[in-house]
Amino acid sequence: MTQPSLTLLGLESSCDETAAAVVRGRPPGPGAILSSLVASQDDAHAAYGGVVPEIAARAHVERMDLLVARVLEAAGVNLGEIDAIAATAGPGLIGGVLVGLMTAKALALATGKPLVAVNHLEGHALTARLTHGCAFPYLLLLVSGGHCQILSVDGPGAYERLGGTIDDAAGEAFDKTAKLLGLGFPGGPAVEQEARKGDPARFAFPRPLLDRPGFDMSFAGLKTAVRYAVQREAEPDSRFVADIAASFQQAVTDILATRSRQAMRWFAAHRPNAAHPVLVVAGGVAANAALRGALEAAAGAEGFAMIAPPLALCTDNAAMIAWAGLERFAAGHTDPLGTIARARWPLAARA
């Protein structure tokens, strides 16, 4: 019997994006995004070169109620037509997470609708189901400002972590490199734009850990190498900045592509039931065009298809939270109003 379509309201406030969305569909997808709004805080944090948790939390408080009203209106639905309310419950900046989760609890209490507490990382992990109806299992490379890991996605709540960064996340390294080069915030788009003008072979930056077995990665040493290169240059000009950006981006791309190829070989051996193996790339860094191109080539070489969400769904958004909530709700999962916000919440049980 075909499961009926579900309509979920999703809220996201784990970092510096205040977001709300209404999504409709049924597993395995694809689903329909009836409305999705994201209020960026980039201007508020730009002067500090990174996200200031206090500023982020206050902005979420100011914006969330209005965003909820606007997405419901844009979707043409009212709260009575919503099947459940999903919200990010972690991981993230705890002040921000609390805003979205408490708003969802208040709405659930007032309407009698079920609450679904969503792991922010699961939102990224399941976006390929929302957009492409991707069948389980599939291999996931999750790369964002705060997270960098490779996982086998076997179902909602079922993840096996193969490896990840042992220090900085890839997105964090982009932000810090942009700050060193005076490119502003957010760093990822700024470095990518500068790298288009540069020579990726000028600086021989390290590719840490690639000579070791396993799937772990490291970006702290790469970031330090960039800092030393900048300090050695007495008068950095625009060519120097572009070449640094291009060489740094190439190093990150090589690390991620190499580890992904190794993980695809593991996946092919350990998930033989995946008739058409897929590499899904998700998270804010997945918006980088050079990285997408390298990963697509790597996937093709290993006999995998590659799926990367549309750019708007790579960065933090509430449509992915609503969809992850929909998948969990469809499987019979709801959460009590006493559910707590979590600053840390590993996606894989054994992480």
- Is pLDDT of 351 > 60? no
Dist. CA 351–CA 336, nearest whole Å: 25
Dist. CA 278–CA 261, nearest whole Å: 12
Q: Which residues contact 267 (CB under 8 A, 6 or more apart)?
A: 137, 139, 152, 274, 277
What's residue 186's pLDDT?
Answer: 82
Dist. CA 107–CA 84, nearest whole Å: 10
Structural domains for the chain: 6-131+313-330 (3.30.420.40), 136-310 (3.30.420.40)
For 145-197, the pLDDT digits (tens) are 788 999 999 999 999 999 999 999 999 999 999 999 999 888 899 999 999 99
pTM: 0.92
For 215-271, the pLDDT digits (tens) are 999 999 999 999 999 999 988 899 999 999 999 999 999 999 999 999 999 999 999
Between 50 and 316, name the one with better pLDDT: 316
For 307-349, the pLDDT digits (tens) are 999 989 988 999 999 999 999 999 999 999 999 999 999 988 6
Q: What is the mean pLDDT of residues 127-139?
A: 97
Q: What is the dihedral of CA 295, 347, 33, 15, to 10 degrees?
A: -90
| C-alpha atoms less than 13 angstroms from C-alpha of 190 in its C-beta half-sphere | 20
What's residue 104's pLDDT?
Answer: 98
- Is pLDDT of 1 > 60? no
pLDDT band per the 50, 70, 90 thresholds, residue 350? low
Distance, first Cα to last Cα, the chain: 36
Q: What is the mean pLDDT of residues 52-62?
A: 89
pLDDT band per the 50, 70, 90 thresholds, residue 70? very high
